[in-house]
């Protein structure tokens, strides 16, 4: 014997049903209605929706119904429509299949917006405002790009169903993808590895380089073997560089790079090009109280001590030479380990 649920009332006599069970349904304009198809032809779709009379969906209100979908709609099957008014032929209620489809789309979008869900859409065209995409016939993207035909994923940025306004964004998704790619690169990079990058911006302390999935910094001290005052002396924005990875700080997502370490250390080969006693050309780069620095070539400088500028007593090197002056000097000594070279000006000019 099966126990009966006390909350369920078994009705055996139809007279026990309330009057509302026999009363025709009443719908307001804009209500979504699930009706049963009575017939569908070129004159429209007749449905039964619990009203006094059958309702009709005129041909102009079912234009979005594809041939394939129409073949599936046989008499007896259900269809969702939206109530327009009760002024159809013979007082029949008039419904719209097209508006019901649109309303369902907006309701689904509203729910997706609440859930902060992603949606997939196809890019169909683009204009000054952004990409125009097709998602159930709706959508516009904030980014402008020539990506027609592409299947992409978006987040809902702004939604106003009453104004039929839908704005999508890829920013969050691209940020997530970029962060994931950056994490992969940080895991893969090894100190000492040679990489390719493009200079994107510069600051006084160095140059920022795009490595593809992450950005690295070349400190000013790692741009050149020579002493430089600004990155612009060595690189420009847009330059493609071959770089050496110095450090990978995975915890702080920072990459330190070097340009100069991909090039020969000039002082390693100085003894091959210069010898004590040689008279060579140079440019005065800096004047100090104790002497003048003279550049012989990029990254190679020597010092003319104040005593080697002239035999006469002087207060400052500027009394003999000036910055930027082209002069000849004689090499007195070379110290490759300490990267120093002693030069003489007075031995060349007999001062």
Give the DSSP letter string of 289-306.
TTEEEEEEETTEEEEEEG
- Backbone angles phi and psi of 188, in degrees to 5: -80, -30
What single DSSP character describes residue 101? H
Give the pLDDT confidence score for residue 219 in this predicted structure: 94
| Domain residue limits at 71 | 28-100
Residues 52 and 65 in one domain: yes
Residues 273 and 315 in one domain: yes
- Beta-strand pair 32-41/44-48: antiparallel
User: Which tokens sit at 202?
Assistant: 């510069």
| Count of structural domains, the chain | 4
Is 121 inside any structural domain? yes
**Where is the domain boundary, 245, 262, 279?**
262
Is 13 inside any structural domain? no
Please report, for residues 208, 264, 281, 299, 301, the alpha-carbon distance to residue 225 in angstroms, rounded to integers and kept in the order given: 18, 9, 20, 5, 11
Please tell me whether residue 7 adopts helix, strand or coil conformation.
coil
pTM of structure: 0.42
Name residues whose C-beta falls within 8 Å of residue 181's C-beta, 6 or more positions apart in sequence. Answer: 213, 214
**What is the Cα–Cα distance from 182 to 188, expressed in whole angstroms?**
10
Residues 272 and 345 in one domain: yes
**Where is the domain boundary, 230, 262, 294?**
262
Give the pLDDT confidence score for residue 15 in this predicted structure: 47
Residues 302 and 328 in one domain: yes
Residues 278 and 336 in one domain: yes
Residues 205 and 256 in one domain: yes
Residues 149 and 222 in one domain: no
**pLDDT tens-digit profile, the chain (351 residues):** 344 444 444 544 544 544 444 445 667 787 888 888 888 888 888 988 876 668 888 888 888 888 888 888 888 888 888 888 877 776 788 998 888 887 777 777 767 667 666 555 555 444 444 444 444 444 444 443 444 455 555 655 555 555 556 666 555 655 666 667 778 888 888 899 999 999 999 998 999 998 888 888 999 999 988 778 899 999 999 999 999 999 988 888 888 999 999 988 888 889 999 999 999 999 999 999 999 999 998 778 999 999 999 988 899 999 999 999 999 999 999 998 888 999 999 999 886
- Backbone angles phi and psi of 107, in degrees to 5: -65, -40
Is 51 inside any structural domain? yes
What single DSSP character describes residue 336? T
Give the pLDDT confidence score for residue 293 in this predicted structure: 96
Separation of CA 63 from chain center: 39
Is 106 inside any structural domain? no
Residues 203 and 162 in one domain: no
Residues 333 and 270 in one domain: yes
Residues 150 and 83 in one domain: no
Name residues whose C-beta falls within 8 Å of residue 202's C-beta, 6 or more positions apart in sequence. Answer: 208, 230, 231, 232, 235, 237
Residues 340 and 275 in one domain: yes
Is 11 inside any structural domain? no
Q: Which CATH number goes with the domain that contains 87? A: 2.40.50.140
Query: Cβ-count burial of 119 within 10 angstroms (0-12 exposed, 13-18 middle, 19+ buried)?
Result: buried
**What is the Cα–Cα distance from 181 to 175, expressed in whole angstroms?**
10
Residues 162 and 194 in one domain: no
User: Which tokens sit at 8?
Assistant: 């369920």
**What is the Cα–Cα distance from 14 to 9, expressed in whole angstroms?**
13
Please tell me whether residue 328 adopts helix, strand or coil conformation.
strand
**Where is the domain boundary, 200, 234, 262?**
262
Please tell me whether residue 164 adopts helix, strand or coil conformation.
coil
């Amino acid at each position: 014997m099966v126990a009966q649920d006390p909350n369920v009332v078994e009705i055996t006599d139809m007279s026990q049903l309330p009057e509302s069970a026999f009363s025709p349904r009443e719908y307001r304009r804009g209500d979504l209605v699930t009706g049963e198809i009575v017939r569908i032809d070129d004159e429209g779709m007749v449905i039964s929706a619990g009203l006094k009379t059958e309702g009709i969906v005129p041909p102009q209100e079912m234009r979005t119904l594809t041939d394939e979908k129409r073949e599936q709609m046989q008499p007896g099957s259900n269809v969702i429509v939206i109530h327009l008014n009760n002024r159809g032929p013979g007082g029949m209620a008039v419904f719209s299949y097209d508006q019901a489809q649109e309303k369902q789309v907006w309701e689904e979008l509203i729910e997706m917006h609440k859930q902060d869900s992603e949606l997939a859409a196809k890019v169909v065209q683009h204009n000054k405002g952004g990409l125009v995409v097709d998602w159930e016939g709706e959508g516009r993207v904030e980014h402008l790009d020539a990506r027609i035909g592409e299947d992409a994923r978006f987040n809902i940025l702004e939604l106003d169903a009453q104004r039929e306004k839908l704005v999508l964004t890829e920013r969050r998704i691209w940020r997530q993808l970029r962060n994931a790619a950056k994490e992969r690169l940080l895991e893969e990079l090894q100190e000492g590895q040679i990489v390719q990058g493009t200079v994107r911006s510069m600051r006084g302390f160095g140059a920022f380089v795009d490595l593809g999935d992450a950005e690295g910094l070349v400190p000013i001290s790692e741009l050149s073997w020579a002493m430089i005052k600004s990155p612009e002396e060595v690189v420009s924005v847009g330059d493609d560089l071959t770089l050496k990875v110095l450090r990978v700080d995975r915890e702080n997502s920072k990459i330190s790079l070097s340009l100069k370490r991909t090039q020969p250390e000039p002082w390693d080969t100085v003894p091959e090009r210069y010898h004590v006693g040689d008279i060579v050309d140079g440019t005065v780069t800096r004047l100090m109280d104790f002497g003048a620095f003279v550049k012989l070539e990029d990254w190679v400088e020597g010092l003319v001590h104040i005593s080697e500028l002239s035999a006469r007593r002087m207060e400052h090197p500027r009394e003999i030479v000036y910055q930027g002056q082209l002069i000849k000097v004689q090499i007195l000594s070379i110290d490759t380990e300490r990267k120093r070279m002693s030069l003489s000006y007075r031995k060349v000019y007999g001062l």
